[in-house]
């Protein structure tokens, strides 16, 4: 392989002919699943091999084989014509050798078309899976870049959240950057009652609290999530409250975790 691709293009033709065996065949099958370029080359090779059927040298079949094929073709044609309502005499002139050749070519073309269609459908599915995997990887990469940007930014602040007396146990911290409008929560807290949810709030220097996310931990394992926030909001504190299931437009329940920004 060269630059991640098969260097010898003849491997694609050998595979299409069924002549590539053992480890080389398995290696090619495994590779085209994740390589769109080589998958395209394989499809082109399979198309070329299928078309070779029309370039094969003419071979005269035996009289017995020819007669059997002619009878079968004549019977199929007669049944189809009668099915469509045409009156067909019982005895008809046997098709010529040219007619038989055209029929054979049509059969070969139909078989080749079906084979190519099946291969193309399989390649389409593989390419769709590859695109979905690439999109998922791109989302993960974008998320990782955003996390790195938030952590590395000099104006990002980190605020520790501590439990209030008599409230469910928990501890967390929030990383917040007002300039880029991004917040990241890390922490753990006892699960809420079934009809309740936790809600994180940004308490600004001026104005009403701003919701920064609703969450429902099912265990007290550490949780991590990130969300966008309004840009330029100067923060006085962060707080987690216990609200009705699904959250509320403004804080109504008791404060569970609280942390001043300064």
Mark out the alpha helices in the chain (DSSP H runs): 10-17, 22-32, 36-55, 63-83, 97-152
Q: Of the ranges 110-119, 179-188, 247-256, which one carries the lowest mean pLDDT score?
A: 110-119
The 3-class secondary structure across 12-74, one letter per residue, is: HHHHHHCCCCHHHHHHHHHHHCCCHHHHHHHHHHHHHHHHHHHHCCCCCCCHHHHHHHHHHHH
**Neighbour tally for 15: CB within 10 Å:** 21
Range of weakest confidence among 4-8, 126-130, 159-163: 4-8
Percent of the chain with pLDDT over 70: 71
**Whole-number pLDDT of residue 99:** 55
Across the chain, mean pLDDT equals: 80
Interstrand relation of 170-177 and 210-215 (parallel, antiparallel or unpaired): unpaired
Measuring CA to CA, which residue among 236, 257, 220, 223 is closest to residue 176? 236
Q: What is the mean pLDDT of residues 3-17?
A: 69
Measured CA to CA in angstroms, residue 155 lies from 27, 226, 258 at distances of: 51, 17, 21
> 56 versus 4: which is more confidently predicted?
4
Token reading at 62: 């035996």
Distance CA 168, CA 197 (A): 13
Q: Regarding beta strands 196-204 and 255-260, do their DSSP bridges make them parallel or antiparallel, or are they unpaired? A: unpaired
The pLDDT value given to residue 178: 95
How much is the average pLDDT of 70-80?
Answer: 60
pLDDT at 65 over 70: no
**Which one-letter DSSP state was computed for residue 206?**
S
Answer with the residue of higher pLDDT: 7 or 122.
122
Q: Which residue has the higher pLDDT, 78 or 122?
A: 122
pLDDT at 80 over 60: no
Q: What is the CATH code of the structural domain delimited by 157-260?
A: 2.60.40
Range from 45-49, 127-131, 201-205, 239-243 carrying the lowest mean pLDDT: 45-49
- pLDDT, one tens digit per residue, over 197-255 is 999 999 999 999 999 999 999 888 888 999 999 999 999 999 999 999 999 999 999 99
């Amino acid at each position: 392989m060269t630059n991640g691709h098969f260097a010898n293009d003849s491997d694609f033709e050998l595979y299409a002919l069924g002549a590539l065996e053992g480890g080389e065949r398995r290696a090619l099958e495994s590779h085209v699943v994740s390589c769109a370029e080589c998958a395209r080359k394989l499809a082109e090779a399979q198309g070329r091999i299928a078309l070779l059927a029309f370039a094969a040298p003419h071979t005269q079949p035996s009289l017995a084989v020819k007669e059997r094929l002619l009878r079968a073709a004549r019977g199929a044609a007669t049944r189809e014509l009668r099915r469509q309502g045409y009156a067909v005499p019982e005895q008809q002139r046997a098709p010529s050798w040219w007619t038989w050749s055209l029929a054979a070519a049509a059969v070969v073309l139909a078989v080749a078309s079906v084979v190519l269609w099946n291969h193309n459908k399989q390649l389409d599915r593989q390419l769709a899976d590859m695109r979905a995997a690439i999109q998922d990887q791109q989302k993960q990469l974008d998320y990782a870049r955003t996390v790195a940007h938030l952590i590395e930014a000099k104006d990002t602040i980190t605020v520790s959240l501590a439990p209030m007396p008599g409230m469910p146990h928990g501890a967390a911290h929030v990383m917040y950057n007002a300039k880029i409008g991004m917040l990241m929560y890390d922490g753990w807290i006892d699960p809420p009652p079934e009809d309740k949810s936790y809600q994180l709030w940004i308490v600004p220097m001026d104005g009403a609290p701003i919701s920064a996310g609703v969450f429902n931990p099912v265990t007290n394992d550490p949780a991590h999530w990130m969300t966008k926030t309004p840009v330029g909001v100067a923060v006085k504190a962060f707080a987690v409250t216990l609200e009705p299931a699904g959250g509320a437009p403004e804080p109504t329940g008791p404060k569970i975790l609280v942390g001043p920004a300064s």
